[in-house]
Chains A and B, each alone.
Chain A
Amino acid sequence: NSGAFNYGAYHTLDNLYRAIDAIMLDYKSIVSKQLIGHSYEGRPLYVIKFSTGANRPGIWIDAGIHSREWVTQATALWTAHKLAAEYGKDAFVTSLLNNYDVFLLPVTNPDGYAFTHTTNRMWRKTRSIRSGSRCVGVDPNRNWNAGFGGPGASSDPCSDSYFGPKAESEVEVKAVADFIRGHSNIKGFISIHSYSQLLMFPYGYKCTKPADFEELNDVGNAAAMALRSLYGTQYKVGTICSTIYQASGGSIDWTYDVGIKYSFAFELRDTGRYGFLLPANQILPTAQETWLGLKKILEHIRDNP
Chain B
Amino acid sequence: GEKTFIGEQVLRIKASNGDQIVQLQDLQSLAHLQLDFWTNPSNPEIPVDVRVPFESLQSVKIYLESNKIDYSIMIEDLQEVINAEKQEMISSERKER
**Chain B contact residues: helix, strand, loop or mixed:** helix
Residues 256-297 of A, flagged 1 when their CB comes within 8 A of B and 0 if not, give: 000000000000001111110000000000000000000000
State whether A273 and B7 are in contact (beta carbons under 8 Å apart), knowing that A236-B32, A245-B27 are contacts in the complex: yes
B67 proximity list for chain A (CB < 8 A): 154
Is A99 an interface position by the 8 A CB rule?
Answer: no
**With A195-B55, A271-B54, A273-B7 as contacts: A161 and B65 at CB distance below 8 Å:** yes
A196 engages B59 (CB within 8 Å): yes
Which B residues from 14 to 33 make CB contacts under 8 A with A? 26-27, 30, 32-33
- Determine if A154 and B59 form an interchain contact, defined as CB atoms under 8 angstroms apart: no
Judged by a CB distance under 8 angstroms, whether A227 is at the interface is no
- Chain B residues contacting A252 (CB-CB under 8 Å) are none
Quote the shortest CB–CB distance from B73 to chain A (angstroms): 14
Say yes or no: A154 contacts B65, CB within 8 Å.
yes
Q: Does A233 contact B (CB under 8 A)?
A: no
CB distance from A13 to the nearest CB of B (A): 23
Q: Please give, as numbers and ranges, the residues of chain A lying within 8 Å of B33 by CB-CB distance.
A: 244-245
A-B contact pairs, 18 of them (CB 8 A): A152-B63, A156-B65, A160-B62, A161-B66, A196-B56, A196-B58, A242-B32, A245-B26, A245-B27, A245-B63, A247-B62, A271-B54, A272-B6, A272-B54, A274-B7, A275-B7, A275-B54, A275-B58
